[in-house]
Amino acid sequence: DRPRTRGQTKSVHVVRNNQEMNKDRNWTDVASAVLLLFRKLIFCLCFNAYLCHLYFYICLCLS
């Protein structure tokens, strides 16, 4: 019976490690998603600012 219990404790330990790894993976997924959203937001802001400047200069030139 002893080896069997040893195997059970080992498998429990492996499961625990997998759960911790999954937690870490979830955190990295969340972080990367937030970073991607942040990048998109910054890109949109910069692009809009650029378009506004372009529009302003075109209006200035046409007037």
pLDDT digits (tens, 9 = 90+) for 4-55: 555 566 676 777 777 777 777 788 889 999 999 999 999 999 999 999 999 9
pLDDT at residue number 7: 56
Give the pLDDT mean for 57-62.
92
Range of the domain at 20: 1-63
Q: Count structural domains, the chain.
A: 1
pLDDT at residue number 1: 54
Structure tokens at 10: 């080992």
pTM of this prediction exceeds 0.85? no
